[in-house]
Amino acid sequence: MSTLEKKVSKEYEGATIREFLKEDLGLSSRLIRRSAIEKRILVNKKEVRMRYIVHTGDLVQINLQSDESQNITPEKMDLDIVYEDEDILVINKKPYMVVHPTKTYQSGTLANGVLFYFKETNQNCIVRLVSRLDMNTSGLIIIAKNQFAHMALSKEMEENNLELDLNKLNGKEILENVFGKELNSKKSILEVIEIIKPLAKEALDADKVQEVYTIIYKSIEEMNTIVKANTIMYLKNQLKGAIGKYVENKDPKEMNYFLEFFKEAYPPNNRRVGYTRVINDFSKITNEQIWETLTYINRVVIKTKRRLGEEEKQDIIKNINGLLKSGKIEYINQVKSLEKLLVALNVKVVSYKEGFKLKNR
Catalytic annotation, residues: 134
24-36 burial code (b ≥16 CB/10 A, e <16): bbebbeebbeebb
Query: Do 208 and 238 contact (CB within 8 A), yes or no?
Result: no
Residue of 268, 263, 265, 327 lying closest to 291 (CA atoms): 265
List the Cα angle 7/11/13 in 5-degree steps: 75
The H or E element containing residue 236 is: helix 229-243
How many angstroms separate the CA atoms of 98 and 119, rounded? Answer: 21
How many angstroms separate the CA atoms of 34 and 18, rounded? Answer: 12
Euclidean distance between the first and the last CA atom of the chain, given in angstroms as a whole number: 69
| Local structure of residue 253 (DSSP, 8 states) | -
Quick one: 262 exposed, middle or buried, by C-beta within 10 A (0-12, 13-18, 19+)?
buried
How many angstroms separate the CA atoms of 146 and 28, rounded? Answer: 13
